[in-house]
Amino acid sequence: MTLIEQTQQLLKQTPYTIQTCRDFAHLEKRAKGQEADEIADLLPALIAGLDQQTHMQAFNEGLV
């Protein structure tokens, strides 16, 4: 499974948690080139699905 496929699978698992954010960041960091760009394009979907507390924690950890 490609990293983009793994990311898409990750985003199907709701509700999003801080671990979701950490896993997303890990996948994004591992990706290269166009795949990295495609994963980065999914970041707004992740952010939109976060509750306020998780968003703040992810922000404080530098994940979003």
Q: What pLDDT is stored for residue 14 in this prediction? A: 93
Q: Which domain holds residue 18?
A: 3-60
Q: How far apart are the first and last CA of the chain?
A: 24
pTM of the model: 0.93
Q: What pLDDT is stored for residue 57 in this prediction? A: 98
Q: 3-11 and 33-40 helices cross at what angle (nearest 10)?
A: 10
- 20 touches 53 (CB < 8 A): no
DSSP reduced 3-state for 49: coil
Question: What's the pLDDT band for 58 if we cut at 50, 70, 90?
Answer: very high
DSSP reduced 3-state for 57: helix
Q: What pLDDT is stored for residue 55 in this prediction? A: 97
pLDDT tens digits for range 13-49: 999 999 999 999 999 999 999 999 999 999 999 999 9
- Structurally, the chain folds into a number of domains equal to 1
